[in-house]
Structure formats: C-alpha cells, structure tokens
Amino acid sequence: MTRSIALTSALLLGTIFWGAVSAKADPAQIYTTECAACHGADRLGGTGPALIPETLGRMRGPNLEKVITHGRVATQMPAFAAVLGAQDITELATWLHTPLAHVPGWGTEEIAQTRWFDPDYSVADAPVFDADPLNITLVVETGDHHVSVLDGDTFAVLDRFETPFAVHGGPKFSPDGRYVFIMSRDGWVQKYDIWSLHQVGRVRAGLNSRNIAISADGKHLAVANYLPMTLSLLSTEDLSVERVMPVVGKDGTKSRVSAVYQAPQRQSFILALKDTPEIWEVATNPDADPVYEGFVHSREKGMIEAIASSEGLFARRRIEITEPLDDFFFTDDYRHLMGAARNTGRGVVVNLNVGREIAELPLPGMPHLGSGISWLRDGRRVMATPHLKEAMLSVIDTETWKLIQTIKTDGPGFFLRSHENSPYFWADVFFGPNKDVMHVIDKQSLEIVKTLRPVPGATVAHVEFTRDGSHALVSVWEDDGAVIVYDARTLEEVTRLAMRKPSGKYNVFNKITFSEGTSH
Ligand code: DHE
C-alpha cells in the first residue's frame, strides 16, 4: 500500500516535472518573470547589467548558460538551476543573444535623466591622505567590480570603491590628476575624486560603450558607443551632456565607434569607426580656428563639418581610408597613427596632418596596437605591439615604418608596458597553456632577459610602473588573485596584495604625462 502511494506520487511528480520541462519554453516570458526585475524590462539593465548581444557577445559558448544555472559569485546574480529546467536555460540564453527588436533612443534627454550624484560626497580642499597624490595607482578589480586606490610608495590601499558592472578600457584622469573617470561596457561613466577618496557621481552615456577619452584641457569627456551609434560628449565638471553626435559615414552608413582617443597636441579626439572606412577627428579647441595643418587642409578640401554652431568646439573632420581600421597606436607627436585592418592582417599608417594612408606593413595574428608602447633604440624611436592570435611581438621603426624584428613569446599576449626609467619592457602571455607567464625584455637587445611565472597555472597580465619606474605591478588575473609588486631593476618580488581578479592598473603620473611606456 505504502509502496503504491509512493509510486503514484513519484509518477505524479514525474508528470508534473516532465510537464514543466517539456512544455515549449517561452524565453521572453521567462525573462519577464525571472530576469526583468534586475536587468530591466527592455533588457537594457537595471540593478543588473544589460542582457543584449552587444554585451553578451563576449560570453561565448555555454558561458551564459553556466551563469544562469549557477549564478555569479560576488554579485546579486542567483543560481536558477532550481527554478528553470536545462532546456529553458538553453533557450533563454539563445534568446538573450538575439538583437533587441527596438533600440530606444539614447540622446541628450535620456542620458541626462540618468545623472546621479553621490549625496555623501563633499569636496576636499586638499588630499585627505599623506601619500603623493601623483603616485597613486588605481587597480581595477573585475572580480567584484571595485577599484582599489594604492599609495604608489607604500602600496597601502587608501580606498576601495564600487564601480559600475564590467569596467573596460583605461580610466581617464583630469590633467591635474585629481579626478578620474571610469567607464563600464553598459555605458556608465563614473567620476571619482582622488583627493577626497570619494565617488562624485555617475551617468549612463551609452547603452553599450567601448571606452572614453578626456580632452587635453580636461573639460570634455568623449564616450565611444556601439549602441546607439553615437559619440557622447559630456562636461567633466558635472557630467552633463554637451552633445550627442550621431556617427554616420560620408555615404550614409551608420557606424559603431570602436574607440575614441585623446590627441593632446592636436587638442582633439580621434575616433576609430567600425563600420565605415573613415577616421574622425573632433576638435576640442574652443578657439574656433583649428590650429593645425590637418584641419586647415581639410577645410580647404571642404571636409570640415561644423557640428556645433561655431566651427571650433566639436568641429568634425573626416579622414577617408581604404577600409575600417581600429585599435590605434599613436606616435608621441600624434602626427601618425597605426591602425589594424581586422580581416586582412594589414597594419596601416595614417598621417593625421595630411589625412591619408602613408604606409602599410604586414601584421598578421591580430596585432593589439592599442597596447603598443614606444622607446628610443639606437637613437631611433621604435614601437612594439603584441598579437592576440600569434605568440610573438612585433617591433617597428616609427620613421621608416619597417618591421625591425619579431620576438617569439610563449603565447599570444594582450598588454605591454614600460617606463622611461626602465631598461626593460614587460609582455604578458594571455592565451594558451603559458598564460601564467610574463616576459621581461631588454629594450635595446630585444632579448627576453627573464620569464616570470609567479603563480603556476594562474593568468598573469598587465603591468603598471610606479611614478619613478622603480617598481612594476603585475596582476594575477584570477578571482582570488593578487597584484604582485616587483623591483623593476632586480626583477625580485617585493610584496603581494590580495585582489579580486585585478585587470588594468593606472598610475596617475604616468597617465597624465603620457609616459612613453604606457598605452595612451
Ligand atoms: Fe580591451 C583597453 C578594445 C577585450 C581589458 N581595449 C582597450 C582599448 C580598446 C580595447 C580600444 C583602449 C581603450 C582605452 O583604454 O581607452 N578590448 C578591446 C577589444 O576590441 C577586445 C579585443 C574585444 C572586446 O570585447 O571589446 C577587448 N579588453 C578585452 C578583454 O577581454 C579584457 C582583457 C578584459 C576586460 O576587462 O574586458 C580587456 N582593455 C582591457 C584593459 C584595457 C583595455 C585592462 C586598458 C589597458 C591600459 O593599460 O590602458
């Protein structure tokens, strides 16, 4: 009797359970019921991040399903394994990778409505700490979306603050090094006051964004967006919107902005466009008449278009090229840039003054030119770049634009770093079985002088130097990771600071002086 009740119950439960998983899952309905409260009814984010292909594209294969099933450590994202069947999770993940049927406008009004200021913030008259404010180093900890503020002399953590979800690209400092602006892939820009050790506020400048740049005078912040296809220009003072510039090629093609860079000597922003064969230059000099050759030539050729009512501030110049380029390296005088043509393995040099391609060099295996650095070797300025898909570094003469040498590494790398006061540059291996390796390379002989493997099996990547170049900080890019501080001359470990998946590190002085050893 008992056995038959048990059997009937089991069959009944089985039927109910089987009914639940076999019914055709409606992922949109599941989303509304289970996800919308945190991620927004429109999938554009709320307390949780946006769930759209532009953001999720980086979660390849079964990764998204894993997060839905098991949740995400150190975030509010719970595990849904007990709530949703495996089939529902698969279908939900597939549906989340489909584009939005309707992308809402994200213009001046919408951006302005997201502006938020931290009520607990008050302006300090002087730094609230004793450390050298120009030797502060910020560590982005992607494990739990925080930034640690390090004293660059003692390596003490002065503050640790929460950032928006999924920070990407280098934070940008005001020219005096006091404020820093940090951007997330969901388009949030956060302003933080280093002197006060306090967040100032946030604004959502795009729905899916790439990176930010600050103008040479420190007044304007440009946000490169994929969604919508715009460049948002903000006031650094109060994060108000100065302009939202639609990005449309000469032939009418709308384009995503791959990245925006500051060109200090030119007092302009340079934009890499993803979908149209053009580079844009946007003037940030308010004194109307753009001062350098490029703008003058362009005006003669009728290529300047005044986006603002006055021709100066935010005037835009189009430089036409043969195919879209991204991931720019700039020479120190910002006359030339190198860009990568993604599908052809070509590296292209563009002279920004005359506005044309002047050289080409073979750069197979996805060069990561944005991580390129330069230094003087035998009296000539050379640059080096890693390759995301080849176990090598390329060293290029920036006068002849000839490849001088390739350096074989233990695997493809992401970042390079050096310092004026260091005889070495450091190159990580980010992919493959040797991702736990960091090469230290002599800038003159181009020989690998030491290969560090501080935590066998753990990814080590990205280096930043202290202001004087005496120490190099390396990320152990794991959830229970660390920043390891090395003596930059002896290459011996000095100390190790526990961190949550630390990624990029940024020294105020090196960044505001545009050190040749750091990507700009
Ligand atoms: Fe980045 C900088 C583009 C993937 C971590 N990355 C940049 C910059 C660009 C760029 C254009 C320079 C902007 C700046 O600093 O203002 N990154 C891209 C890509 O196109 C790529 C390959 C694909 C993508 O998904 O966007 C890519 N980047 C990554 C990652 O997967 C990394 C390793 C982890 C992450 O956080 O997303 C990553 N990118 C970084 C970091 C910097 C960066 C840490 C700043 C480096 C610096 O020292 O300034």
Of all protein residues, whose CA lies closest to atom 37 belonging to ligand 1? 168
**Total residue length of the chain:** 520
The DSSP bridge partners found for residue 214 are 221
The DSSP bridge partners found for residue 269 are 262, 282
Of all protein residues, whose CA lies closest to atom 23 belonging to ligand 1? 58
Per-domain boundaries in the chain: 27-97, 368-519
Ligand 1 neighbours by CB, cut-off 6 Å: 58, 142, 168-170, 211, 259, 327, 370, 414-415, 462, 503-504, 519
- For 369-406, the pLDDT digits (tens) are 999 999 999 999 999 999 999 999 999 999 999 999 99
Q: How far is the CA of 168 from the centre of ligand 1 (A)?
A: 6
Amino acid at 192: Y
Q: What is the pLDDT of residue 49?
A: 87
User: Closest ligand 1 atom to the C-alpha of 172?
Assistant: 16
Residue 338: closest CA among 366, 311, 370: 370
Distance CA 455, CA 81 (A): 33
- N-terminal to C-terminal alpha carbon distance within the chain: 78
Residue 275: closest CA among 342, 188, 208: 342
Residue 108 three-state SS: helix
**SS3 for 343-379, per residue?**
CCCEEEEEECCCCEEEEEEECCCCECHHHCEEEEECC
Of 90-94, 168-172, 186-190, 504-508, where does mean pLDDT reach its minimum?
Answer: 90-94
Distance CA 472, CA 436 (A): 17
Contact 352, 319 (CB under 8 A): yes
Of all protein residues, whose CA lies closest to atom 40 belonging to ligand 1? 169
User: Closest ligand 1 atom to the C-alpha of 261?
Assistant: 16
Residue 406: closest CA among 420, 424, 422, 427: 427
Of all protein residues, whose CA lies closest to atom 2 belonging to ligand 1? 169
Q: How far is the CA of 32 from the centre of ligand 1 (A)?
A: 32
User: Closest ligand 1 atom to the C-alpha of 327?
Assistant: 11
Query: In which band, very low, low, confident or very high, does the pLDDT at 20 lie, cut at 50, 70 and 90?
Result: very low
Please give the full DSSP string across 383-409, using - where no structure is assigned.
EEEEBSSSSEEEEEETTT--EEEEEE-
User: Closest ligand 1 atom to the C-alpha of 140?
Assistant: 44
368-519 to CATH, choices 3.40.718.10, 3.40.1360.10, 3.30.2350.10, 2.130.10.10: 2.130.10.10
Number of H helices, E strands in the chain: 9, 34
Q: How far is the CA of 82 from the centre of ligand 1 (A)?
A: 35
Kindly report the CATH class assigned to 27-97.
Answer: mainly alpha
Side by side, the strands of the sheet bearing 380-386 are 373-377, 380-386, 392-397, 403-408
Q: What is the pLDDT of residue 295?
A: 53
Q: How far is the CA of 169 from the centre of ligand 1 (A)?
A: 5
Distance CA 202, CA 204 (A): 7
CB atoms inside a 10 Å sphere around CB 17: 11
User: Closest ligand 1 atom to the C-alpha of 464?
Assistant: 48
Q: Which two tokens stand for residue 42?
A: 């429109």
Distance CA 107, CA 246 (A): 9
Of all protein residues, whose CA lies closest to atom 39 belonging to ligand 1? 169
- For 159-187, the pLDDT digits (tens) are 999 999 999 999 999 999 999 999 999 99
Q: Which residue has the higher pLDDT, 256 or 307?
A: 256
Contact 443, 380 (CB under 8 A): no
Distance CA 256, CA 224 (A): 8
The DSSP bridge partners found for residue 425 are 441
Mutation test residue for ligand 1: of 139, 142, 144, 168, the one with most atoms within 8 Å of CB:
168
Of all protein residues, whose CA lies closest to atom 29 belonging to ligand 1? 168
Residue 482: closest CA among 154, 158, 150: 150
Backbone angle region of 169, left / alpha / beta, with phi > 0 → left and psi within -120 to 50 → alpha: left
Query: In which band, very low, low, confident or very high, does the pLDDT at 255 lie, cut at 50, 70 and 90?
Result: very high
User: Closest ligand 1 atom to the C-alpha of 328?
Assistant: 11
Residue 92 three-state SS: helix
**SS3 for 269-294, per residue?**
EEEEECCCCEEEEEECCCCCCCCCHH
Judge whether residue 288 has pLDDT over 50.
no
- For 65-90, the pLDDT digits (tens) are 999 999 987 778 899 999 899 999 99
Query: In which band, very low, low, confident or very high, does the pLDDT at 213 lie, cut at 50, 70 and 90?
Result: very high
Judge whether residue 249 has pLDDT over 70.
yes
Q: What is the DSSP letter of 167?
A: B
Asked whether the domain spanning 368-519 has the same topology as the one spanning 27-97, the reply is no
Judge whether residue 508 has pLDDT over 80.
yes
Burial classification of residue 454, based on how many CB atoms lie within 10 Å of its CB (0-12 exposed, 13-18 middle, 19 or more buried): middle
Q: How far is the CA of 97 from the centre of ligand 1 (A)?
A: 21
Q: Which two tokens stand for residue 57?
A: 């594209």
Q: What is the pLDDT of residue 312?
A: 74
Q: How far is the CA of 415 from the centre of ligand 1 (A)?
A: 9
Of all protein residues, whose CA lies closest to atom 1 belonging to ligand 1? 169
User: Closest ligand 1 atom to the C-alpha of 272?
Assistant: 11
Distance CA 504, CA 474 (A): 9
User: Closest ligand 1 atom to the C-alpha of 461?
Assistant: 33
